[in-house]
Chains A and B, each alone.
Chain A
Amino acid sequence: MENGETELPGDGALAIELKGISKAFGPVQANKDIRLAVKRGTIHGIIGENGAGKSTLMSILYGFYQADSGDIYINGKKTRIADSDAAIAAGIGMVHQHFMLVQNFTVLENVILGAENGAILNSAIGKARTELKRLEDAYDMHVDPDAIIEELPVGLQQRVEILKALYRGAEILILDEPTGVLTPAEADHLFRILQQLKEQGKTVILITHKLREIMAITDEVSVMRRGEIVATRQTAATNVEELAELMVGRHVLLRVDKGQSHPGEVKLSVRNLTIRDSRGVTVVDDVSFDVRAGEIVGIAGVAGNGQSQLLEAISGIRKARSGQVILDGEPIGVTGECDPGMLRERGLAHVPEDRHHMGLVLPFEENENSILGYHDKSKFLNGPMLNIDAIRQDAKAKIEQYDIRPPDCRLKTANFSGGNQQKIVLAREMEVDPVVLLIGQPTRGVDVGAIEFIHKRIIEMRDQGKAILLVSVELDEVRALADRVLVMFAGKVAGEVAPDTPEGEIGLLMAGITQDGAGRKGKAA
């Protein structure tokens, strides 16, 4: 599988070698005869679609799962990793996609969590403080050890996760989708840290589905598809197109083809919307914008800047504090009397950001999910009874139209892949012929092949004259799909830009820095 050896950093010895790792969950073969060699002192990327088995493989390496067969060699020595303690002992550290931090502890307390060395914390804290200082200096990653985690920005929280691993003596660091929650600038800083770790002889495994990151930082990359490693390449000797093709197993279109938009009249109008969360914190602050028929308005921004609450308020799930939302010429009672069912009646469809927690009921059969929210439509009912035949017919038609696989409307929804689950939601919300379509994170956790299809459908909807509000934390996606881009920061619209604005400029807005003054509060003109 290796190409001709060019210069790679490190001494060429293997930090990790996996031989014939297999793991099955019931009938699903998550990992199949995995052979992987990671050279010491390199950054090794693992890329693959969702459900390709990346996370399973790393969970085996970190001791969360036991492989059904196969061997793990750490630094040339056969190692059995029964649990995460064994992984830590073997020098493996993991930075999870969702941070494993205690929110109301200080940085220091989080770092020593699980390494307290006895019931009295004093000596451990003293030792940790010194060690933390040393690590910070060595890797140029400063964090105030006495800061409370929940008061730190996400980028710094991630840094604490890395420090936690290093404090435990990690020589091999696994990062699972580390940039999902970061601004472009924060991601750059993370990459600089990883580079530094590499120079100090640490080995880094970077799991991601973003091809650009692989190209930017890794030395070698392994591509996973359907539980197998289909190729390992030196990054310098490959390119984005080849990797994408390896991931999907066929040629994919990475750009979105779309024509000029023809905006019509305003279908959704948001006026001075302010939302407070349950703690009374203002999460959306005096936001106003319009969406016209036949256009896609994209909302860019780092996750957690109010986009989720904005979508929830417009769709009637969350009450707003003040302001107005006008749907197709008529105000909806966004501060009081409106519920998602009512808004659906009035032509508002909503693809929620988090399909697992909101958009789908995973243990349901596929056909039961394909009516969620529309289960009170007369065509699906026979008096108080569900019209099972009509529901299944309808589900089958959508399965065919959206190429949902496997094409079985009786299958449990949890057994579909991420991409197909998303298609179930999209089919449901798009086929009702809405006036306004809200779409949150249309391709989160969706494989590359399905992304292409989903993007195409969204553009089709626009060309049919729907007003579409798109929220995504993938800046590339917003820029590719939207006709106008609003950037949200700290609950406010930090600015409106054209989708072809350079990424760096949008990145600044995402970090809250507007052109006429750093960190200026308020809405850009």
Chain B
Amino acid sequence: MKHELPKWVDYGLIPLLNLITAFLVAGLVVLLVGENPVKAAYLLVRGAFGYGGGIGYTLFYATNFIFTGLSVAVAIHCGLFNIGSEGQAYVGGIGVAAACLALDRYVPWYVTFPFAVLGAAAMGAAWAFIPAWLQARRGSHVVITTIMFNFIASALMIYLLVEVFKPAGSMAPETRTFEAGGQIPKLDWLFNLFGSSLGGAPFNWSFFLALACCYLVWLLIWRTRLGYEIRTTGINPTAAVYAGIPPVRTVVIAMLISGALAGMMAINPVMGDQARLQESFPAGAGFVGIAVSLMGRNHPVGIILAAILFGMLWQGGAELAFDMPKISRDMIVVIQGLVILFAGALEHMYRPALSRAFARRQVLSADQAAREGV
């Protein structure tokens, strides 16, 4: 029998406890290298939220994580564990670059933008298609194939950057810098409204695209016929067959949507920040998406919150490494890893104990009610 917990425990208390544990353990690590953990925590939070530029970077990273988190979540709703968001995002960059390189000299950015979005989504979806088809038709496990496709994506992109996209005479494996028509404007005006300033942070319009995607994913999963079919297939494939839902089609479509969402992540760094397609630009965001989706309970609202948390870790962690010389970049990776470990992998650590505690409380209050009733 399953233990039911109140919603606020499931969605609020448990993630909070996991986070606190992660930070306590991270604090111990900081202590071990001889730094003050309280001060480290202060520096991390200040780095992420203490000034306009910090917030800008936090939200810039969060934008990446929202896209990849949604990508993982859509696949999970169909019972698929898409580990390939990293590679799909990477390949998605081709779509962005193609749109920008073709249009940036002729039209303003908001004309280029929809083409870049479509290109990114199409390339991401295309990269997810082969694993999806192999899973649906041949039963090749999507976890294995998507991991392998990450490596293939990496090799393919280097080839393309060096042999195709690199302007003649350039030494770097990257495209030329896009002109203004291929650059998404930063959101300085938004920060100025609050009397703050973005500094140099690359926080841009992609953030709103990410939020729109959150709403659309919610709509898709819980309000459309396709979403209903995806969820049925994900939870109970036998019932899906019984209900006449074609499993092959549903699995492939869910993976295509997942890949498209991952691909759209490329918009943010490529068109919103660097204004060129560079090697390894996803920088692990695809893998962070797995933790974000798990922590956010595969729900768009949870994913936004978890993405901002991880954005904070990325931005605050960078500042911490800068301010505390004993804490190196690698230490930051350790701290991020601990959060992923406790919030993702050990997500259910506190659940049994909490279930018992709540069961007992409910029995007691029921008894009390019974006594008072008499």
Binding site for B on A (CB under 8 A): 22, 24-30, 56, 68, 315-317, 339-342, 344, 350, 352, 357-364, 368, 372-373, 375-376, 381, 384-386, 388, 414-415
The distance in angstroms between the C-alpha atoms of A312 and B228, with both chains bound, is 23
Whether B246 is near chain A, meaning CB under 8 Å from some CB there, is: yes
B228:A368 contact, CB within 8 angstroms: yes
Chain A residues near B238: list those with CB within 8 A: 357-358
B236:A373 contact, CB within 8 angstroms: no
Chain B residues near A361: list those with CB within 8 A: 231-232, 235-236, 239
B5, B224, B231, B360: which contacts A68 (Cβ < 8 A)? B360
B2:A386 contact, CB within 8 angstroms: no
A29 with B366, Cβ < 8 A, contacts A375-B225, A385-B224 known: yes
B235, B244, B355, B360: which contacts A340 (Cβ < 8 A)? B244
A372:B232 contact, CB within 8 angstroms: yes
A350:B224 contact, CB within 8 angstroms: no
Closest to B245 in A: A341
Binding site for A on B (CB under 8 A): 1-5, 219, 223-229, 231-232, 235-236, 238-239, 241-246, 355, 358-360, 362-363, 366
The distance in angstroms between the C-alpha atoms of A56 and B359, with both chains bound, is 15
- B343 CB to closest chain A CB (Å) equals 22
A373 with B242, Cβ < 8 A, contacts A30-B1, A386-B223, A415-B4 known: yes
B4:A27 contact, CB within 8 angstroms: yes
Chain B residues near A28: list those with CB within 8 A: 1, 4
A26 with B242, Cβ < 8 A, contacts A56-B1, A361-B236 known: no
- B32 CB to closest chain A CB (Å) equals 37
The distance in angstroms between the C-alpha atoms of A388 and B228, with both chains bound, is 12
B243:A373 contact, CB within 8 angstroms: yes
The distance in angstroms between the C-alpha atoms of A415 and B5, with both chains bound, is 13
The distance in angstroms between the C-alpha atoms of A384 and B221, with both chains bound, is 12
A340:B362 contact, CB within 8 angstroms: no
B363:A29 contact, CB within 8 angstroms: yes
A25, A360, A381, A388: which contacts B359 (Cβ < 8 A)? A25
Given contacts A376-B244, A384-B224, A385-B225, 5 further A-B contacts (CB under 8 A): A25-B1, A364-B232, A368-B228, A375-B228, A385-B219
CB < 8 Å A-B pair total: 98
B235:A68 contact, CB within 8 angstroms: no
B241:A317 contact, CB within 8 angstroms: yes
The distance in angstroms between the C-alpha atoms of A368 and B229, with both chains bound, is 11
A362 with B223, Cβ < 8 A, contacts A26-B355, A27-B4, A375-B229 known: no
Q: Which of A56, A352, A362, A375 has the most CB of B within 10 A?
A: A375
The distance in angstroms between the C-alpha atoms of A51 and B156, with both chains bound, is 57
A26 with B5, Cβ < 8 A, contacts A339-B244, A340-B244, A385-B224 known: yes
Chain A residues near B235: list those with CB within 8 A: 361-364
The distance in angstroms between the C-alpha atoms of A28 and B5, with both chains bound, is 12
Secondary structure call for the A interface: mixed
Chain B residues near A342: list those with CB within 8 A: 244
A26:B3 contact, CB within 8 angstroms: yes
A362:B225 contact, CB within 8 angstroms: no
Chain B residues near A385: list those with CB within 8 A: 219, 223-225
26 A-B contacts, Cβ less than 8 Å apart? A26-B3, A26-B358, A27-B362, A29-B363, A29-B366, A316-B244, A317-B241, A340-B241, A341-B244, A341-B245, A344-B244, A350-B242, A359-B239, A359-B242, A361-B231, A361-B232, A361-B235, A361-B236, A362-B235, A368-B228, A373-B242, A375-B225, A375-B228, A384-B225, A385-B225, A388-B223
- B2 CB to closest chain A CB (Å) equals 7
Closest to B362 in A: A27
Chain A residues near B219: list those with CB within 8 A: 385
The distance in angstroms between the C-alpha atoms of A360 and B243, with both chains bound, is 10
- A371 CB to closest chain B CB (Å) equals 8
A24:B224 contact, CB within 8 angstroms: no
Q: Which of B1, B239, B241, B363 has the most CB of A within 10 A?
A: B239
B246:A339 contact, CB within 8 angstroms: yes
B224, B245, B360, B362: which contacts A386 (Cβ < 8 A)? B224
The distance in angstroms between the C-alpha atoms of A375 and B238, with both chains bound, is 16
Closest to A360 in B: B239
Closest to A318 in B: B241
B236:A24 contact, CB within 8 angstroms: no
Chain B residues near A359: list those with CB within 8 A: 239, 242
The distance in angstroms between the C-alpha atoms of A22 and B363, with both chains bound, is 10
B243:A341 contact, CB within 8 angstroms: yes
Closest to A339 in B: B244
Closest to B220 in A: A384
